[in-house]
Amino acid sequence: MKSGFIGIIGRPNVGKSTLLNAILGEKIAITSSKPQTTLNRITGIYTDLDYDNGDGLQIVFLDTPGIHKPHNKLGSAINETAINTYKGVDVIVLMVDGTKEFGVGDSKLIDMLKTSEAPKILAINKMDLMGPEEYLRLYNEYEAMGLFDDIYGVSALKGDNVDMLIDKLASYMQEGPMYYPEDQATDHPERFIVSEIIREKLLNYLNDEVPHGVAVEIESFEEHDNITDIGAVIYCERKSHKSIIIGKGGNKLKGVGKAARLEIEDLLGTKVFLSLWVKVKENWRDSDRVIRNWGYKDE
């Protein structure tokens, strides 16, 4: 069997999690139009036992938080997670949003990648929204850097050229063990995925400022014969944010709960009773202890 580890890195909101979901053919990473959706390192496991005449292939993808200029200790911690991840993989995939101009943050990422000896693949996302001349210009600009072993234009949302990208990444894998069972798509426990689903719905329901100060912790997860009983706490940083999350007459929290419950039922394959509470934990994004306890900082 051929196997190995691939890190997907890039700036916030370029489509890294959408690409990972497209590669796996199922949703394991939450997505949102808001930046910094991914706060943890997400592991996705791609297995093809028919690859290379049945010898088999397993690629362990590490989807990292978007690298950005941090404004608090949480931002610094998730940057550290992303940087530590790219240092220990066999191949690096840098993903960029082809519809956005090259900026200072992109330049810093390029400088960072120059220090790595691992093969580097560039994935230019949202090619479906670009004209041929626009894509060719961007392709040539990145190729002239002499940094990337291959460059691919993809549409993570529509799945365009994702299979071609997988084939290229597979060619870099070496003989190795099968790290996970063939039917396992991620190494994260169900409790983590459930908490992420709830956080995704919060991101989609809330306005721009509140989501960045929201965290979700699963307090109870009890499986019964015909139903799973889940209790979760939504933490925010201000009392005013708590009121926004709950909404008038509790309507916004009910909407979040319903949308989350339906997706969790699909995930678990059972009926779900979901209870949500909202609590204030002021300035938690600047608390080393909280950030570490909630798994946002590498030990």
Residue 121: which CATH number?
Answer: 3.40.50.300
- Largest Cα span, the chain: 60
Least confident of 50-59, 60-69, 259-268: 60-69
pLDDT-based confidence at 76, cuts 50/70/90? low
Residue 188, amino acid: H
- Residue at which a domain ends, from 147, 175, 203: 175
Interhelix angle 251-268/190-205, nearest 10 degrees: 140
Do 64 and 8 meet the contact criterion of CB atoms below 8 Å apart?
A: yes
pLDDT for residue 38: 47
Is the pLDDT assigned to residue 290 strictly greater than 70? Answer: no
pLDDT for residue 71: 47
Shared domain check, 266 and 233 = yes
Q: The domain containing residue 209 runs over which residues? A: 190-293
Shared domain check, 139 and 23 = yes
Do 179 and 57 meet the contact criterion of CB atoms below 8 Å apart?
A: no
Indicate the average pLDDT of the chain. 84
Distances, alpha carbon 294 to alpha carbons 142, 148, 192, 217, in Å: 37, 35, 11, 8
Residue 187 to residue 48: CA distance in whole angstroms: 17
Bigger pLDDT: 255 or 33?
255
pLDDT for residue 50: 93
Is the pLDDT assigned to residue 262 strictly greater than 50? Answer: yes
Shared domain check, 94 and 15 = yes
Shared domain check, 206 and 162 = no
